[in-house]
């Protein structure tokens, strides 16, 4: 099947064990239809073993074939897309046997959805769903020059690539850097009572809050400051100042998607405010 190439080498996350168990039950139903139960079990075992680069050896009897298959499925489940790919392709290889009924993509998708696996099968593709989807962002921000546009677009792209590669901490670090960078765009703008003069994220945020009392921008900057502080802290996200090895919290794939989506939405809001303040600054000149 077709999916993000990086997923083959860096797992974007495990498949829920409940999915492994249900797919294993489907294999049992499929194997009960053929002339040789063991042959079909070995067939599926070879696909799952190959998905993580292992060699599948023939089991001594049906009982061991069932046990060995399940172990291969659990191992393959360390990488959700490869697990799904292995099962689907194993089924497709059996479709030339008219005596064997096989589950279709809709049946598999119901199992994936019931257990919030985060993926769907849309032949010939496996696509990420739910928490794995990035929220949309504008293609351009009118108040920025071309160089700034490219920096923002590349950072968004890079953070998504890192998530796809199974590196959520690095993805969050990239987009946190983008949020800090976007904040510097406010320097030199008139924020109501005065021109923004500070140069660093926290100081610019504090200055904007002082000059934008009672506005949505003030509230968003308060939320942003809390998120920035948490993600920077060694006992929080550990993105900027290292991770506390005793009590730090490791960022997982779902956490990474959440933080990236939050910051994507904040960046979009900040740029709309930047455009508004840019117009106001221009009108006052």
Q: Is the pLDDT of residue 255 over 70?
A: yes
Q: Which of 65, 53, 80 is nearest to 28 (CA)?
A: 65
Q: What is the pLDDT of residues 42-64, one digit of tens each?
A: 999 999 999 999 999 999 999 99
| 159 within 8 A of 257, measured Cβ to Cβ | no
Buried-state track 56-70, b at ≥16 Cβ within 10 A, e below 16: beebeeeeebbebbb
Q: Is the pLDDT of residue 137 over 90?
A: no
Q: Give the pLDDT confidence score for residue 165 in this predicted structure.
A: 65
Q: Give the pLDDT confidence score for residue 161 in this predicted structure.
A: 79
| 145 within 8 A of 278, measured Cβ to Cβ | no
Q: Which of 57, 54, 52 is nearest to 41 (CA)?
A: 57
Cβ within 8 Å of residue 182, ≥6 positions away: 152, 267, 270, 271, 274
Q: What is the pLDDT of residues 268-277, one digit of tens each?
A: 999 999 998 8
Buried-state track 162-200, b at ≥16 Cβ within 10 A, e below 16: bbbbbbbbbbbbbbbbbbbebbebbeebbbbeeebebee
Confidence of residue 19 (pLDDT cuts 50, 70, 90): very high
239 is written with which tokens? 């993105």
Q: What is the pLDDT of residues 141-200, one digit of tens each?
A: 877 888 989 999 999 999 987 876 667 889 999 999 999 999 999 988 887 778 888 889
| 281 within 8 A of 186, measured Cβ to Cβ | no
Confidence of residue 85 (pLDDT cuts 50, 70, 90): very high
228 is written with which tokens? 């920035």
| 179 within 8 A of 231, measured Cβ to Cβ | no
- Maximum Cα–Cα distance for the chain, whole Å? 85
| 241 within 8 A of 230, measured Cβ to Cβ | no
Between CA 30 and CA 101 the distance in angstroms is: 7
| Residue 153: burial class (beta carbons within 10 Å; 0-12, 13-18, 19+) | middle
């Amino acid at each position: 099947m077709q999916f993000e190439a990086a997923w083959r080498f860096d797992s974007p996350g495990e498949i829920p064990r409940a999915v492994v168990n249900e797919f294993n039950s489907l294999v049992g139903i499929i194997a009960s239809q053929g002339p040789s139960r063991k042959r079909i079990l070995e067939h599926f075992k070879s696909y799952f073993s190959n998905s993580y680069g292992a060699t599948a050896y023939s089991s001594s009897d049906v009982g061991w074939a069932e046990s060995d298959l399940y172990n291969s499925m659990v191992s393959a489940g360390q990488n959700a897309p490869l697990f799904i790919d292995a099962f689907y392709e194993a089924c497709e290889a059996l479709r030339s046997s008219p005596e064997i009924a096989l589950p279709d993509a809709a049946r598999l998708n119901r199992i994936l959805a019931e257990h919030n696996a985060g993926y769907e099968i849309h032949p010939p593709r496996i696509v990420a769903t739910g928490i794995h989807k990035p929220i949309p962002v504008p293609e351009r921000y009118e108040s920025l020059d071309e160089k700034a546009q490219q920096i923002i677009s590349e950072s968004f792209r890079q953070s998504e690539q890192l998530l796809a590669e199974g590196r959520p901490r690095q993805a969050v670090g990239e987009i946190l850097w983008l949020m800090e960078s976007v904040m510097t765009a406010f320097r030199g703008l008139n924020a109501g009572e005065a021109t923004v003069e500070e140069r660093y994220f926290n100081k610019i945020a504090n200055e904007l809050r002082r000059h934008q009392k009672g506005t949505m921008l003030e509230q968003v900057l308060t939320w942003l400051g809390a998120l920035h502080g948490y993600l920077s802290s060694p006992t929080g996200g550990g993105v900027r100042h290292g991770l506390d090895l005793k009590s730090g919290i490791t960022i997982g794939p779902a956490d990474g998607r959440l933080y990236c989506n939050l910051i994507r939405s904040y960046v979009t809001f900040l740029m709309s405010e930047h455009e508004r303040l840019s117009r106001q600054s221009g009108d006052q000149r």
